[in-house]
Structures are given as structure tokens and as C-alpha cells.
């Protein structure tokens, strides 16, 4: 009997403890949600009333117990936002006609002063001369026409004159890449070109385009530079130019064949065009002597003052 009473008392005690635990939990949850209810009611309340309630709410929050871990709501952790680096705008694509002109550094450096001009002849122009052909007439024809002067009828410019600017005292020739081979062709019993200019160190070549034999004999001041038989269909003959001067080119097979080549130690020369024009660049500033050569009219000279930069324009006229 006593044992049964003891069991009932224990059961009642356990039930009371459970009820008390639930009540305490409900009370704690209510106290935790109390600030949220106060904050929601502040939006529609009078400003003075809101301030009073806020003070009461802060006091209640200070008295609110800390909830057990199992009743705490997990906080959402928001990762910090990385600070973005400023991004430079991409360059706009150039529109047609909007490109800026290149700067001075982008432009090629000037090579110095430039001499441009014309070689003129205003005298009478002789008629072409005819030479009789005594061999290989099936290729050369019966006569060969020679034109000693070629003058533009409008400008009076003289063709195939060679203009050279002599170096000043103490000047050193500028280094320039070697030009292509200077080739003389035997074609229809003529030398092509009839007049040419080259620099020491250039390669000269001789070619026979005719179906007959030729002979190429090159001399400088009566000294032989090259003397070779050029058979029909033979291989070209090549040789480097080693000596400056006026070269005479002749053919022993055909006496009427003749050509000229002027060879210089420096690159300051040019051959006139059909209207007598020439251009020479890269000459050092100062006083220079300009020489002109022509196979019929001979040579003439003139002194010219060359500036540091700019263009010198002059006409050189045979009287």
C-alpha cells in the first residue's frame, strides 16, 4: 500500500516538472518576440509614443534571458562583397576618316636635304644618224638609227644626262644597301640601256638576247674591265664594279654598237628622265659642286649651297 502511494507521488512530481518546463519555454519565446512586436507597431504610432515604447523595449531587451542553443535561430552569414577594381573603357574602334595623324616619332627620320632639278637644252637638236650594218642583217637590219640628243619638246628637258653631287671636304659617303645588278643586254644589235649609272660595289651583268654572237668589251680610261664573247643562248656574265669612272661599252662584232656607264664611289647621283628631271638626297650640308655629263654635250659644273634641311631646286642648262 505504501509502495503504491510512493509511486503516485513520484509520477505527480514528474508531471509537474514537465509542465513547469513547458511553461518556462513558452515564456522565454514570448519574451524573445516582444521586441519584434514593438518595432512593428512603431510605424503607425505617434512619434512621441514611439520614443517611449522604444525606451521600454530597450529595458525589456536588457532583462531578456539568453535562449538555449536549441531555440536560437541560425544567423545567415553573408560573405563580404569584394571591392571592384575600376575598369578602363575599351578603346573605341576607329571610324573611317577619323584616324589621328601619326606623331613625329612614328614618322620616318628625314635623310637630310634633297636636291631636285632639271637638266635643260635649248639649242638645236640634230637629226638621228644612220649607220650601215655589214653583218647579221637578218637580226640587226641593214641600218641602225642613232639619236645623239633626246630633248622634250615642251620642257626642253634633256634625257640620259647623269648628275653627280661631289663630296665636300671631309665628307664620308653614307652607307646604303647595294642596288640590284646593273644589267646590259645585247638586243637587236643594240646595248640596253644606252646610258646607265652605278656605284662601286654593285654587280654588273651582261646578257645576250640575240640569236647571233656578240662581244662585250668594257674599258675605263683605255683600261679593259671586261672583254668576253657572248654566244647566242649563253649564260649571263657577272662581275663586280671595282673602279669608278666612265665606262665605254663596245662590241667587236658590230662596230656601231656602243653604250656608256658612269660609276661613282658614292651614292649621290641620278640619271635624268625623259623630261630632264633628277633627284638626289642625303647630301651633307655645305657647299658642293654638281657635275653633269652627257654623251654628246659633254660635261658642265655648278656650285650649290646645300642647307641642313629642306629642298634645293635648280635648273642646269647646257648653253
Residue 255, CA atoms < 13 Å, CB-side half-sphere: 5
Cβ–Cβ < 8 Å for 160, 272: yes
Q: Considering the domain boundaries, does residue 108 fall inside one?
A: no
The CATH number of whichever domain residue 150 belongs to comes to 2.60.40.420
Q: Is the pLDDT of residue 251 over 80?
A: yes
**Same-domain pairing of 124 and 270:** yes
Q: Summarize the confidence of residues 121-138 as an average pLDDT.
A: 94
**Same-domain pairing of 173 and 307:** yes
Q: Is the pLDDT of residue 95 over 70?
A: no
**Same-domain pairing of 23 and 142:** no
**Same-domain pairing of 299 and 153:** yes
**Same-domain pairing of 128 and 250:** yes
Tens digits of residue pLDDT in 163-199: 999 987 777 766 665 566 899 999 999 999 999 999 9
Residue 205: count other Cβ atoms within 10 Å of its Cβ.
Answer: 14
CA 145 to chain centroid, in Å, comes to 48
Higher pLDDT: 49 or 134? It is: 134
**What local confidence, expressed as pLDDT, does residue 167 receive?**
87
What Cα–Cα distance (Å) separates residue 209 from each residue in 87, 145, 233, 263, 278?
69, 20, 7, 24, 30
**What local confidence, expressed as pLDDT, does residue 305 receive?**
94
What is the value of pTM for the model shown?
Answer: 0.64
Q: Is the pLDDT of residue 76 over 90?
A: no
Q: Is the pLDDT of residue 121 over 90?
A: yes
Tens digits of residue pLDDT in 2-44: 444 455 555 656 656 565 665 555 555 555 555 554 444 444 4
Q: Considering the domain boundaries, does residue 265 fall inside one?
A: yes
Q: Considering the domain boundaries, does residue 80 fall inside one?
A: no
Q: 57-71, 86-100, 104-118, 263-277 — which one is most confidently predicted on average?
A: 263-277
Higher pLDDT: 245 or 43? It is: 245
For residue 230, what is its C-alpha cell?
657572248
**Same-domain pairing of 52 and 149:** no
* Count of domains for the chain: 2
**Same-domain pairing of 159 and 278:** yes
Higher pLDDT: 18 or 284? It is: 284
Domain that holds residue 35: 19-63
**What local confidence, expressed as pLDDT, does residue 36 receive?**
54
Q: Summarize the confidence of residues 207-236 as an average pLDDT.
A: 95
Measuring CA to CA, which residue among 128, 147, 121, 135 is closest to residue 258?
147
**Same-domain pairing of 159 and 51:** no
Cα torsion 141, 145, 150, 151 to 10°: value is -120
Q: Which of 55-59, 220-224, 226-230 has the lowest mean pLDDT?
A: 55-59
Q: Considering the domain boundaries, does residue 8 fall inside one?
A: no
Q: What distance in Å separates the CA atoms of residue 283 and residue 167, rounded to the nearest whole number?
A: 8
Q: Is the pLDDT of residue 139 over 90?
A: yes
Measuring CA to CA, which residue among 273, 247, 298, 305 is closest to residue 119?
273
- Cross-strand bridge partners of residue 260: 195, 248
**Same-domain pairing of 136 and 272:** yes
Amino acid at each position: 500500500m505504501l509502495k503504491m502511494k510512493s509511486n503516485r507521488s513520484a509520477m505527480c512530481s514528474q508531471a509537474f516538472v514537465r509542465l513547469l518546463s513547458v511553461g518556462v519555454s513558452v515564456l522565454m519565446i514570448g519574451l524573445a518576440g516582444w521586441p519584434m512586436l514593438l518595432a512593428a507597431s512603431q510605424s503607425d504610432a505617434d512619434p512621441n509614443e514611439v520614443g517611449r515604447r522604444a525606451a521600454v523595449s530597450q529595458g525589456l531587451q536588457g532583462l531578456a534571458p539568453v535562449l538555449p542553443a536549441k531555440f536560437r535561430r541560425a544567423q545567415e552569414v553573408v560573405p563580404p562583397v569584394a571591392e571592384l577594381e575600376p575598369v578602363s573603357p575599351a578603346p573605341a574602334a576607329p571610324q573611317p576618316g577619323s584616324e589621328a595623324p601619326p606623331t613625329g616619332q612614328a614618322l620616318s627620320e628625314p635623310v637630310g636635304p634633297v636636291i631636285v632639278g632639271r637638266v635643260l637644252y635649248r639649242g638645236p637638236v640634230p637629226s638621228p644618224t644612220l649607220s650601215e650594218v655589214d653583218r647579221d642583217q637578218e637580226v640587226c637590219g641593214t641600218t641602225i638609227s642613232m639619236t645623239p640628243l633626246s630633248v622634250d619638246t615642251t620642257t626642253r628637258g634633256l634625257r640620259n644626262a647623269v648628275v653627280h653631287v661631289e663630296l665636300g671636304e671631309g665628307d664620308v659617303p653614307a652607307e646604303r644597301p647595294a642596288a640590284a645588278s646593273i644589267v646590259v643586254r645585247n638586243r637587236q644589235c643594240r646595248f640596253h640601256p644606252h646610258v646607265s649609272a652605278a656605284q662601286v660595289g654593285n654587280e654588273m651583268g651582261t646578257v645576250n638576247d640575240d640569236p647571233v654572237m656578240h662581244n662585250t668589251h668594257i674599258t675605263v680610261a683605255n683600261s679593259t674591265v671586261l672583254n668576253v664573247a657572248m654566244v647566242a643562248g649563253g649564260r649571263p656574265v657577272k662581275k663586280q664594279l671595282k673602279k669608278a669612272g666612265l665606262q665605254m661599252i663596245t662590241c667587236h662584232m658590230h662596230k656601231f654598237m656602243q653604250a656608256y656607264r658612269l660609276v661613282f664611289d658614292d651614292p649621290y647621283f641620278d640619271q635624268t628622265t625623259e623630261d630632264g628631271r633628277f633627284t638626289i638626297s642625303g647630301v651633307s650640308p655645305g657647299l658642293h659642286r654638281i657635275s653633269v655629263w652627257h654623251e654628246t654635250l659633254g660635261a658642265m659644273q655648278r656650285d650649290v649651297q646645300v642647307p641642313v634641311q629642306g629642298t634645293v631646286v635648280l635648273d642646269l642648262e647646257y648653253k
